Structure 1
Amino acid sequence: MDQKSKLRQIALVAMLTIGGVQAGCAQTAPAESGATATAGAVESQPAVPAPLPAVTPAAASTVAAASANDSATEGGNVAELQRMIHGPDLAELRTTYNGSYGASLLFYAKEMTYYVALFQQKTFWRVIKTTDETRAEAIYRDFARQTVQLSDVEIRRTRLEAQKAFTERLIALQQMRANRLEADLTVARQQQAAVASQQKETRQQASTLQNQKAAAQEQLRATQHQVRDLQRQLESGLPTR
């Protein structure tokens, strides 16, 4: 008889004990009531139930442990593995990750039991418990294939997010370059406008200077002509040699 069967037997004995005590109390109460109501009648002695085994503190603790084990069993394999995962007795044999999904093959040596788990982001999704090593390996391989299928969309989304972020960074870099080029072009246009204005002013100044030069040359020629006339007049009647 295994440990779980012993625990269930002890729990059954405890429940029978409690039930027998309650039944004895129920039989005693009607007997006393009948003896009071019937005057002069011979009082009948209530039947005394046979003594039942006493529940010792150790047995009570065992019953509580059995109840706790039953509750754990009712929690399912997921809850059971969740409680065991941080303990020292569970060995991780294999684990596969794909995206946020994963599959693990775990071994509980004390009971030669395998736990095969499918999980997402460290949260168990499905847990299969078996003592068959071949079946455990087959389920693990199936769960690992499922993680590949389940993570396809997630991985594709991750890649698309990365490509989108990369494209946005390229756009930002190109925009920065465009802004710099636009700033340079603005400076060039301003400089070009300034140079054009300066050249226009310079041309106007050159034209004015050209006119002034022509007038000065004309004045110079007239002055020279006047000087020659005066010189001739001054030397008129004098011998040339």
Structure 2
Amino acid sequence: MKIAVCGKGGSGKSTVVTLLANQARAGGYRVLVVYSDESNSGLFRMLGFDHPPVPLMELVGGKKSLKQRMAQPSVLAENRILLEDISPQHLVEKDGLRLVSIGKILQSLEGCACPMGVLSREFLKKLVLKADELAIVDMEAGVEHFGRGVETSVDSVLIVVEPPLESVEVAQKIHDLASGIGVKNVWAIINKVPSEETATKLQAELKKRHIDVVGHIHFDADVFSSSLEGKIPEMG
């Protein structure tokens, strides 16, 4: 299964990706986390890695002439991509958890992130997973990636929602866009919940919008504090 984790900026997507990846790994899955957010660079620390992988964008020589370069010999030119096909340079691994990065915006005037969206879409489309493998995609904030068609290459979309109404409105847009391109599994998880009362209100609001809620995560001061170091606390 390939799961895209989406939501408003600051809703806690990377935290949810990390928790989900660790839980799936504990359940016996071989987990691949795909870092598709071209701006935020700290996910590798949250997952416990010392350094990030070399972005897959470097396999095609960077953003320029992406279409032509993807046809040149590399794993990205194949019709099918298996996890073992990705070189250690572009995939870091630790205790059954793997991480690849699509690419990052590193300089001013570098241009838009559209080529990275294309690469995300094509990589996920070609990625072949075995029965015990799971791909979790940390998407950029908002909905622009739907315009690039990235979610046409995933099985499921998980929307991270936090208490402000604007987060619920973004969730509605994500739900509608995902459903509109035929993604059958579209769920929401409520994050940073201060109370059960708030969780109940948000669940009711999302239900009115026909968005299925699979659970909620309470606000945790330890998680907030650890985020200042780019980590999440060890889960007991």
TM-score interval, smaller chain:
under 0.3
TM-score under structure 1 length normalisation: 0.16
Q: Higher helix share goes to which structure? A: 1
Higher strand proportion, which one? 2
Which of 1 and 2 has higher RCO (CA within 8 Å, sep 6+)?
A: 2
**Highest CA radius of gyration, 1 or 2?**
1
